[in-house]
Chain A
Amino acid sequence: MTRKTALIQGNEACAHAAVYAGCTFFAGYPITPSSEIAEVLAKELPKVGGKFIQMEDEIAAMAAIIGASLCGHKVMDASSGPGMSLKQELIGYACIAEIPCVIVNVMRGGPSTGMPTGPSQSDVMQARWGTHGDHAAIAIAPASCQEIFAETVRAFNLAETYRMPVQILMDEIVAHMREKIVFPEPGELAIVTRQAPFVSPAEYKPFDTSFGDIPPLAAMGGNYRYHVTGLNKAPDGFPTTKAELVDAEERRQLRKVEAHAAAIEKNEEYLTEDAEVIVLSFGITSRSARFAVDSLRQEGVRAGLFRPITLWPFPEKRVAEVARKTRAIVVPEMNLGQLVYEVERVVKGSCRLAALGRVDGEPITPYQIIDKVKEVL
């Protein structure tokens, strides 16, 4: 049997993957360059009995998906810079109330309206620290249409597994370029369904940690009746200011990701084993980097590529390992220095480190990376 293939945009791949992953509720607000995700889901979700709603604003879109997720749906929202700034309020709500949801950010430059139609990678730190207060974060940055499909499915799985928001960071090029993708058959990619409560409704507490750090979330409207708040809460879901309870809750929420970092992290390494210089790069820029690495190898420079697919949690152990075996790491990114500081924190001076930033709305070219590598060596 020949599998279904198509030449589609990254945004389209993302939307189709959401349906594959079991998403049955999307709420959004129109914003360039993410709108195709909403457009495809407006068409596709009703076919599978799912719901699409265009809300009155970006905040409302987040609110609606959290509400629908509480009712047991797998949910998604998609946006870009200014919209992401607005959503931070309720991303925080989804963090503290531990509501599974997937949020796609097709990054544009900024701040403010910035450059809506130009590519950017300048929301790396927003994805980690955008909402106020301590919180855990998972963010994934795919680099091809096929990978967008797979990683969108994984984003839903992570959101449901760890009961938290997961962000997918794309850029305008990855989101709008068209590549051939082979649609996975049903069952080919693993799909995680939300863990049902282990106890009876009478015993259920929405933040009960007696079964581990990730308490099961019951669907509202079923047999389980409970309370959810954005205030610091006790295991029963009701607000508390008791110091020991608040402290335990805050620490547990960070632990959900820290303790499972190995299972969440995903990287691709290309010719890093013997590399004297490593280009560490994600998203569209990693494709320039791969071109550059091949060109440099042809010239006799032992270059390699380290591509974090999961940006948060940052693959700090592995990056520290490769840093010890190489002379230099070059970090090209379409911003003026974000991921490079995370690399610096992890590398701790064990090799040379150079940043290459670009924010003029054009992608970093392979030649810019080649020049930077030569400058560093």
Chain B
Amino acid sequence: MAQRYEIRFSGAGGQGLITAGIILAEAAAIIEGKHAVQSQSYGPEARGGASKSEVIIADDPIDYPKATLVNACLALTQEAADKYAHGIIDKGVLLIDCDLVKTAPQGNFTLYQLPIIRTAKEEIGREIVANVVALGAMVALTGIVSFESGEKAVLDRVPAAFRELNKKAYRVGFEKMKGIL
């Protein structure tokens, strides 16, 4: 049984959180050579609803691919916070979007708040990169992969025309998180 680190990204369908999970898993598995499994649960809707993407990272092969005890969780919407911000271990961490999650889940974990969507909209100029802002913040929060691995994984995945935009989104997310840690 591998020593597991479990991360859950949750929010609304269409916010790109599955992609955020994939990028993190690629940073861990392909760039850093660890083992990683990314999975998701989804409903019939392509947009809206509550969606989650889970990444398990370990040094050894991973058996059960779903979260068991979540080390770190992200919730971008109230619905996602209510539905998916559970199972977090004692001393685990939860990051919420402080504009959209008005009622923060309670538990024996440390709560962090950032205006993730607003940051994407106002500082980066495109709400569509909120997932990459969130990814940067989660990398800073967990330290499960290095800043550089996360950045490389982001850039490997996005089309050339959007590299600068995503690079900035990732960096701003990372720095904002560092600022409140």
Interface residues of A (CB under 8 A from B): 5-7, 116-117, 173, 176-180, 284, 287-288, 290-291, 294-295, 298, 363, 365-367
Contacts and interface: CB of A to CB of B under 8 A. Distances in A.
Given A6-B30, A180-B29, A180-B30, A291 B64 contact: yes
Of A116, A117, A180, A287, most B-chain CB atoms within 10 Å: A180
Going nearest first, the 3 A-B pairs with the smallest beta carbon separation are A294-B1, A177-B39, A290-B63
Given A117-B41, A294-B63, A298-B1, 7 more contacts: A7-B26, A176-B39, A178-B37, A180-B30, A291-B63, A291-B64, A367-B68
A284 B41 CA distance: 15
B30 A287 contact: no
Given A7-B36, A173-B39, A180-B36, A287 B68 contact: no
A365 B87 CA distance: 13
Contact of B39 (A5, A178, A365, A367): A178
Nearest to A119: B41
Nearest to B38: A178
Contacts of B39: 173, 176-178
Given A117-B42, A177-B65, A295 B26 contact: no
Contacts of B65: 173, 177, 179, 284, 287
A287 B1 CA distance: 10
A116 B44 CA distance: 8
Q: Is the interface of B mostly helix, strand, loop or mixed?
A: mixed
A6 B40 CA distance: 18
Nearest to B43: A117
Contacts of A367: 68
A366 B68 contact: yes
A7 B64 contact: no
Nearest to B21: A178
A298 to B, nearest CB: 8
A6 B30 CA distance: 7
Contacts of B40: 176
Nearest to A181: B29
Contacts of B41: 117
6 contacts: A116-B44, A117-B43, A176-B40, A179-B62, A180-B35, A290-B63
Nearest to A285: B64
B52 interface: no
Contact of A287 (B22, B42, B63): B63
A176 B52 CA distance: 13
Given A288-B63, A290-B63, A366-B64, A177 B37 contact: yes
B6 to A, nearest CB: 12
A281 B41 CA distance: 22
Contacts of A294: 1, 63
Contacts of B66: 173, 363, 365
A93 B31 CA distance: 48
B38 A365 contact: no
A367 B68 CA distance: 9
Contacts of B25: 7, 178
A367 B1 CA distance: 14
Interface in B33-59: 35-44
A173 B40 CA distance: 8
A242 B156 CA distance: 65
A7 B38 contact: yes
A116 B64 CA distance: 22
B63 A178 contact: no
Contacts of A295: 1
Contacts of B22: 7, 178
B1 A291 contact: yes
Contacts of A290: 1, 63-64
Contacts of A7: 22, 25-26, 29-30, 36, 38
Contacts of A365: 64, 66, 68
A220 to B, nearest CB: 42
Contacts of A5: 30
Given A180-B29, A180-B30, A294-B1, A288 B64 contact: yes
